[in-house]
Amino acid sequence: MNKVKILIDGKVIEVDEHCADMVLFFNEIGLKTRMCCQGHEKPIFRIWFSTEDCVDQIIEEFIYKTAQWTEVFIRPTNEERTQLETYRGIRGLRGWIYKRSWYPKGKYKREEWIYQSEGENNEEAIMNAKYDLLCMRAIYFGTNLDNIQKRQQRLAEDRLNNIKK
């Protein structure tokens, strides 16, 4: 498990290597992160947001800015149905941002926002998160997403042609 050091708000912090760019992006746009995990051989990638700094309004403003790409879902996360989450799956992206509510023993405990991507394996979950980061940057900063997606398609076709040779 490789860690890298990044600078956020004047502090050097250590994060999982594949999470660094996304952690920097979220913090740059005001979505303060508190923890990240690239999956460590599990088919998942997550970034948690600070509940002290990243209140619902800030997350919802981000979601609103990318609203043409989102859909809202609510689902239980355990068999007892004591943990629920609402999340907005971003159309065209492979991961989603959701709000998890914890109800251990039927009593409300806390809520937290999480970005998550998954895959068939850890490598695919990481690649899906990297793809999402590219798209979120494009959506948030107004980059021409169509050109980025066309470029990705050309790169994929080039790779495929090289494999066929």
- What pLDDT is recorded for position 162? 74
Instruction: Give the pLDDT score at 96.
Output: 78
* Prediction pTM value: 0.68
What is the tens place of the pLDDT at every residue in 73-94?
Answer: 666 778 887 777 666 555 557 7
Report residue 15 as tokens. 């994060």
| CB neighbour list of residue 153: distance below 8 Å, 6 or more residues apart | none
The order of strands in the sheet holding 110-118 is: 33-37, 44-49, 110-118, 96-102, 83-90, 70-76
What residues in the chain have per-residue pLDDT under 50? Answer: 68, 70
Q: Can you tell me the distance from the alpha carbon of 143 to that of 145, in angstroms, rounded to the nearest whole number?
A: 6
pLDDT the model gives residue 151: 74
Q: Which two tokens stand for residue 146?
A: 């169509």
Q: Residue 15 is part of which domain span?
A: 3-164
Please tell me the total count of domains within the chain: 1
Report pLDDT digits (tens) over 8-22.
Answer: 999 999 999 999 999
